[in-house]
């Protein structure tokens, strides 16, 4: 964006931030702000139940993120919240622009579609974006960093891309899904640089806490996130991953533990929870193996076609046009198999929706058109159905999971079709190194 564009856009985002900050109750930011205040007061037990607000509203991000939050505690909460909302809105705006550039890189000159496709993707994600803004959660910012990191890496700007991705992973762990994707794509140098950046950000809090305390804090964070999860699994918002939805369908749930007894039971059997977990883990394992196996196989086929001269080449090797589809497939996979995929996390659905919608436009397949209609119905029509009881019922059914599943399955089919097709119109613009 040109400097003139910045001069126009940033003040508008600032004005919108002031308005939004006055009308929303940024509960997650209140947690961040309280944690930052505790840090400045001299406390270092950052994963204690009362470090932020209480045991339900506790701090559970990595230590580095808390250091990033510390300057906000020097301001009044109103000003701090306004600036925080500014960062969220700016992430949305620039994420839209990065998505446009990625689409143009993958598909070439698509005219007005470069604006229309990201706009439709944002519309499909509107419910999740609104929740993110209302809560003030950092998730939208991290999704932007993940998208920006992939954009830079796809253009062979390894330093910028890995640095941005590592920053996102130092805030929330899910950008690390980039590592197995890059491994399958044989981008080992990129992985090495990414891990170096990440190591620096992990070690950095030792400047404040000291090496020993920093090590203990990361141990506590790891336990807090991956082992001591029972409390948050029961009292947090309803999950929309395969494991969470399977548990609601196959076991008897006590919804009063979630702070809202208005959810309707949707289970049709009552199986032991351990049996359901094993079943869900089996499905998750299959999806993970299938996703990365598909990316590996399809990449080999396209690489062989490129080397034989079947596909067009560019002077500078990089990720090919289907790399965005593959990366979107991995992001959709994250939403399906993530252990704590609540509705807020579906902001990330914006990323796979871009290549999905692009293929709907280009291929004009009846099956893809049906998938498009189904995703539109789930994300745009169901949220408009009046009545809180109906909305709770949709949440219990896990309807958002089905939108992610449809997008994942569609992208998998598109990758298979385009990678194994010999049609001239499906030639890629670039080749893998």
- Mean per-residue pLDDT of the chain: 86
pTM of the entire predicted model: 0.90
The percent of residues in the chain predicted with pLDDT above 90, rounded, is 60
User: Which range in 298-307, 310-319, 337-346 is most confidently predicted, on average pLDDT?
Assistant: 337-346
- How much is the pLDDT for 119? 95
From 189-193, 202-206, 249-253, 411-415, the region with the lowest mean pLDDT: 249-253
Number of H helices, E strands in the chain: 20, 0
**Position 6 pLDDT exceeds 70:** no
Mean pLDDT in residue range 424-430: 41
* Separation between Cα atoms, residue 357 and residue 367, nearest integer Å: 13
Kindly report, residue by residue over 378-404, the tens digit of the pLDDT: 999 999 999 888 888 998 899 999 999
Kindly report, residue by residue over 157-176, the tens digit of the pLDDT: 999 999 999 999 999 999 99
User: Which of the four pLDDT bands, split at 50, 70 and 90, describes residue 49?
Assistant: confident
Alpha helices in 43-112 (DSSP H): 63-69, 77-107
Mean pLDDT in residue range 212-224: 88
User: Which of the four pLDDT bands, split at 50, 70 and 90, describes residue 8?
Assistant: confident
Q: Residue 166: which of 175, 155, 157 has the closest Cα? A: 175
Kindly report, residue by residue over 365-375, the tens digit of the pLDDT: 899 999 999 99
Spatial CB neighbours of 165, under 8 Å, sequence gap ≥ 6: 145, 146, 149, 150, 153, 175, 178, 194, 197
Q: Residue 177: which of 163, 191, 189 has the closest Cα? A: 191
- How much is the pLDDT for 421? 74
* Separation between Cα atoms, residue 166 and residue 146, nearest integer Å: 9
- How much is the pLDDT for 384? 93
User: Which of the four pLDDT bands, split at 50, 70 and 90, describes residue 420?
Assistant: confident
> Between 419 and 292, where is the model more confident?
292
The percent of residues in the chain predicted with pLDDT above 70, rounded, is 88
Q: Residue 84: which of 130, 153, 135 has the closest Cα? A: 135
Mean pLDDT in residue range 24-52: 89
* Helix/strand/coil for 239: strand
Cα–Cα distances (Å) from 409 to 299, 344, 371, 412, 413, in that order, read 18, 22, 9, 5, 6
**Position 428 pLDDT exceeds 70:** no
- How much is the pLDDT for 319? 63
How many CA atoms, within 13 angstroms, populate the side-chain half-sphere of residue 386?
0
Kindly report, residue by residue over 290-308, the tens digit of the pLDDT: 999 999 999 888 877 766 6
Spatial CB neighbours of 129, under 8 Å, sequence gap ≥ 6: 92, 122, 140, 347
- How much is the pLDDT for 114? 82
């Amino acid at each position: 964006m040109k400097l003139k564009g910045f001069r126009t856009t940033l003040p508008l985002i600032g004005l919108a931030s002031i308005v939004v900050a006055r009308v929303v109750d940024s509960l997650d930011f209140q947690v961040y702000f309280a944690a930052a205040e505790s840090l400045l007061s001299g406390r270092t037990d950052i994963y204690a139940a009362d470090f932020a607000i209480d045991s339900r509203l506790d701090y559970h991000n990595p230590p580095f993120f808390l250091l990033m939050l510390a300057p906000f505690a020097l301001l009044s909460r109103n000003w701090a919240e306004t600036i925080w909302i500014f960062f969220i809105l700016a992430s949305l705006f620039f994420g839209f622009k990065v998505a446009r550039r990625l689409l143009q890189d993958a598909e070439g000159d698509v005219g007005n579609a470069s604006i229309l496709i990201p706009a439709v993707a944002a519309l499909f994600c509107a419910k999740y974006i609104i929740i993110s803004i209302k809560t003030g959660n950092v998730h939208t910012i991290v999704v932007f960093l993940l998208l920006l990191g992939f954009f830079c890496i796809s253009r062979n700007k390894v330093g910028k891309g890995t640095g941005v991705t590592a920053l996102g992973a130092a805030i929330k762990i899910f950008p690390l899904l980039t590592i197995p994707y890059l491994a399958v794509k044989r981008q080992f140098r990129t992985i090495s640089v990414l891990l170096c950046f990440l190591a620096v950000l992990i070690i950095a809090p030792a400047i404040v806490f000291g090496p020993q305390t920093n090590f203990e804090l990361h141990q506590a964070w790891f336990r807090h996130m991956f082992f001591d999860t029972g409390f948050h699994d029961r009292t947090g918002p309803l999950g929309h991953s395969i494991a969470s939805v399977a548990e609601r369908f196959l076991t008897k749930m006590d919804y009063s533990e979630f702070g809202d007894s208005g959810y309707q039971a949707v289970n049709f059997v009552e199986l032991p929870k351990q049996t359901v977990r094993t079943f869900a883990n089996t499905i998750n394992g299959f999806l993970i193996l299938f996703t990365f196996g598909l990316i590996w196989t399809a990449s080999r086929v396209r690489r062989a076609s490129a080397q034989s001269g079947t596909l067009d080449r560019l002077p500078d090797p990089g990720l090919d046009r289907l790399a965005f589809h593959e990366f979107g497939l991995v992001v959709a996979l994250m939403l399906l198999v993530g252990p704590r995929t609540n509705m807020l996390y579906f902001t990330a659905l914006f990323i796979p929706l871009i290549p999905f919608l692009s293929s709907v436009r280009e291929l004009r397949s009846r099956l893809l058109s049906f998938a498009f209609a189904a995703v539109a119905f789930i994300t745009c029509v169901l949220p408009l159905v009046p009545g809180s009881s109906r909305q709770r019922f949709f949440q219990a059914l896990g309807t958002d999971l089905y939108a992610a599943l449809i997008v994942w399955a569609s992208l998998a089919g598109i990758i298979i079709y385009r990678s194994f097709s010999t049609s001239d119109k499906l030639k890629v613009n670039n080749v893998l190194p």
